[in-house]
Amino acid sequence: MTLIRLLAPLLLLLAAPVLAQTDIALGGLTADPTAPVEVTADALSVDQTTREAVFSGNVVIGQGDMRIAAARVAVSYDEATGDIARLVASGGVTFVTATEQAEAAEAVYDLTSGTLTLSGDVLLTQGASALSADRMVVDLTAGTARMEGRVRTVFAQAGP
């Protein structure tokens, strides 16, 4: 019983950094979902009936300091305003800010709610630290993220 009492605080101390890293501050990143969105790609197809545009080939989306790159991006528009409401990126996605980079199989950027959801083997790097998970939801308004589904991390130590 004494051994368990001694080990319990140590186990909690060791687990604390991993638990703390499931909620991530993204270097003060905030994005304005109403800011202009610039999209470049090799090709564009538009379907007026579904109000959807599909960019393909080396797609790069820019909004402020944020960049999203993918092989394909489908853009949906708000019926009332005609503004971009949602971007669905697939074919290997890279999300980059001034201080972070994330990779995933696909991403959904909801401009209405200001959230970016990356899924499928997500890897986030912040400086020398790295985190991976099945899914990451970024609140671009608050500048925070939450990683879900088998979160793994490597912490870079500052050293003396």
pLDDT digits (tens, 9 = 90+) for 22-59: 445 554 455 666 678 899 999 999 988 888 899 999 99
Q: Answer whether residue 78 shows pLDDT above 70.
A: yes
Only one residue has tokens 């797609």, namely: 59
On the CB side of 146, CA atoms within 13 Å amount to: 6
CA 88 from chain center: how many Å? 12
Pairing of strands 152-154, 84-96: unpaired
Largest CA distance in the chain: 71
Percent of the chain surpassing pLDDT 70: 75
Q: Is the pLDDT of residue 119 over 50?
A: yes
Query: Is the alpha carbon torsion for 148, 35, 100, 13 positive or negative?
Result: negative
For the domain covering 20-154, report its CATH number: 2.60.450.10
Give pLDDT, residue 128.
Answer: 78
Which pLDDT value is given to residue 43? Answer: 97
Rounding to the nearest 10 degrees, give the CA dihedral for residues 112, 96, 17, 148. Answer: 50
Question: Quick one: 135 exposed, middle or buried, by C-beta within 10 A (0-12, 13-18, 19+)?
Answer: middle
Confidence category of residue 13, pLDDT binned at 50, 70, 90: very low
- State pTM to two decimals: 0.75
Of 10-19, 52-61, 67-76, 133-142, which range is least confident? 10-19
Q: What is the mean pLDDT of the chain?
A: 79
